[in-house]
Structure 1
Amino acid sequence: MTRFALTLEWNGQPYMGFQRQAHGPSVQQAVEEAAFAVTGQAVTLHAAGRTDTGVHALAMRAHFDLARDFDAFRLSEALNARLRLARHAVAVLDVRVVDADWHARFSCLGRAYEYRIANRRAPLTLEAGLAWRIARPLDAAAMHAAAQELVGHHDFTTFRSVHCQAASPLKTLDRLDVRREGDHVIVEAAARSFLHHQVRSMVGCLALVGQGMWTRADLAAALAAKDRCKLGLNAPPEGLYFVKAIYPGE
């Protein structure tokens, strides 16, 4: 068996998330079907993260195994051709052969997400479904300062979905930065791993801070409460992007 590592980009709008679902299309299904059409082999695609419905990816790492060798470049070209033919909003940016013990999920040392807020009164046209529009002015500096309350090792119960399947709410958030770029406010988050809805929940509460509805102390109190009912707001999925997965030696 040969293990192939893929780097995937996708627009999450048409999909029920990465993972296969019985009730709708998924990125995993799209790539697995393309791989079968190209190779004649049924594969199981494993990814560094499981994104929700409507969430996008700029460089998701994934892998599958094939019973015989393929040229990595030709495989990537063939997969893209099949995805394009099926009108999927998924692109294979890179394919390479990796060691048999390399695993897209379990070998991953860190993950990074970006959340994009369009801070303007006008409706979105080009970015519809690709950013969260907030009409009220946002104080990005206040958001960044408040965000530092969440950096470090904490119990993130307040910021996890009630459907989260993680064994523990304890996570170490390595970085949570907020900056303004014109009429956009960008939130960047990095950690070894995240809880279900953690990034969206943190962004939603930071948006309340940016609008002056919450203070930094309110955010700290929500974290300390360890109670999902104390969450101020869960940001919608359309502004969230999986940006990067980090592995040993990279």
Structure 2
Amino acid sequence: MPRTQQPFSPEPLPAGTRIACRIEYDGRLFNGWQAQPHPGTRTVQQALEKAISQVANGPVRVHCAGRTDTGVHGHAQIVHFDSPTTRSAKAWVLGVNAALPTDVRVHWAVPVASDFHARFSAQARSYRYIIVNTVVRPALLVGLVSWCRWPLCTDSMHTAAQALVGEQDFSAFRAASCQSESAFRCVSRVSVARRGDLVIIDIEANAFLHHMVRNIAGSLMVVGHGRHPPEWIGQLLASGDRARAGDTAAADGLYLVDVTYPPVYGLPETPPGPLLLAG
């Protein structure tokens, strides 16, 4: 069964233990997740590996559930690494956080089986895309939400989005730079709802193509604005033609909110999230 308490055990974990962690980050000042060879390029992976290596007193490589792009936020990014030294779970949380910049945090660290892999053991990933639907662009949420000045009909967007459910070819929502060998993905659920001035798109799939969620969000906004009927999304998906789809939505409003793993690994449950992500 999943653990419900955040573990901060002081019990030492021997060298060689595989550790899984939940990472939260504000993507505004990062050039995405993946470490880059260019000096001075700030990425989440580089910041995290530097902090973990400092606590470990040696180099550590981390593996993540899903690489996020520049400006995309992580509420429940899951990573794993193999500990090169004896440290407690408490040290991996509190010690690493002390060495991290304030826009990245480790929320828990637990020992896992040696066959656990943050990416390959994941069964599903969930993203949330948040749009502020107001005439004037908000000032306080810059970089944390997307913005659309045109009124959006969430009922039409939700109806249109149901065409995405199932295992299908998502070439129409795939970035030209995507390196995946297959465009087939299985979307298990998708919804669009309004919460005051916020339009919330939630989508869960076994995996995602590069820019897939942002391209879907851009096309759903076209439907929400009334420029195409809801059935257009299904037609677009069947066509496999990215050129016919809407613009790629901004990275600002995109959050990796959950990753699902088999219960046998016993990872802590992910909380619903604060403020914008709650509910």
Q: Give your verdict on TM over 0.5.
A: yes
Question: d(CA) in 1 for partners of 2:77 and 2:119?
Answer: 10
Q: What SS does the corresponding residue of 2:28 show, helix, strand or coil?
A: coil
Question: d(CA) in 1 for partners of 2:148 and 2:120?
Answer: 36
Q: Equivalent residue for 2:211? A: 197
Q: How does 1:231-246 map to 2 (within 5 A)?
A: 231-246=245-260
Is contact 1:5-1:61 (8 Å) kept? yes
Q: What SS does the corresponding residue of 1:33 show, helix, strand or coil?
A: helix
Pick aligned residue for 2:77 from 60, 73, 78: 60
Provide the alpha-carbon RMSD of the alignment. Answer: 1.1
Q: What SS does the corresponding residue of 1:111 show, helix, strand or coil?
A: strand
Q: Say whether 1:136 aligns with 2:150.
A: yes
Question: d(CA) in 1 for partners of 2:55 and 2:86?
Answer: 13
Q: Equivalent residue for 1:215? A: 229
Q: Say whether 1:91 aligns with 2:105.
A: yes
Question: d(CA) in 1 for partners of 2:177 and 2:137?
Answer: 32
One-letter amino acid of the structure 1 residue matched with residue 35 of structure 2: R
Pick aligned residue for 1:7 from 11, 17, 22: 22
Q: Which runs of 5+ in 1 are unaligned?
A: none
One-letter amino acid of the structure 2 residue matched with residue 179 of structure 1: A
Is contact 2:60-2:84 (8 Å) kept? no
One-letter amino acid of the structure 1 residue matched with residue 57 of structure 2: G
Q: What SS does the corresponding residue of 2:142 show, helix, strand or coil?
A: coil
One-letter amino acid of the structure 2 residue matched with residue 194 of structure 1: F
Q: Say whether 1:69 aligns with 2:98.
A: no
Q: More displaced, 62-71 or 191-200? A: 62-71
Aligned residues: 247
One-letter amino acid of the structure 2 residue matched with residue 80 of structure 1: N
Deviations 1:117-140 (A, max 9, x none): 001122222210010111111101
- Quote how far apart the aligned CAs of 1:215 are: 1.2
Is contact 2:129-2:253 (8 Å) kept? yes
Q: Say whether 1:18 aligns with 2:33.
A: yes
- Quote how far apart the aligned CAs of 1:38 are: 1.4
Question: d(CA) in 2 for partners of 1:131 and 1:54?
Answer: 10
Q: After TM superposition, which residue ranges in structure 1, 4 or more long, deviate above 4 angstroms?
A: none
Q: How does 1:58-207 map to 2 (within 5 A)?
A: 58-83=75-100, 87-207=101-221
Is contact 1:30-1:88 (8 Å) kept? no
Deviations 1:42-87 (A, max 9, x none): 011100000000000111110111122211012210110011xxx3
Question: d(CA) in 1 for partners of 2:217 and 2:106?
Answer: 29
Deviations 1:175-201 (A, max 9, x none): 110000010000000011111111111
- Quote how far apart the aligned CAs of 1:232 are: 1.7
% identity of equivalent residues = 40
One-letter amino acid of the structure 2 residue matched with residue 5 of structure 1: A
Q: What SS does the corresponding residue of 2:136 show, helix, strand or coil?
A: coil
Q: What SS does the corresponding residue of 1:129 show, helix, strand or coil?
A: coil
Question: d(CA) in 2 for partners of 1:138 and 1:206?
Answer: 9
Is contact 2:130-2:145 (8 Å) kept? yes
Q: Equivalent residue for 1:51? A: 68
One-letter amino acid of the structure 1 residue matched with residue 135 of structure 2: R
One-letter amino acid of the structure 1 residue matched with residue 151 of structure 2: P
Is contact 1:172-1:191 (8 Å) kept? yes
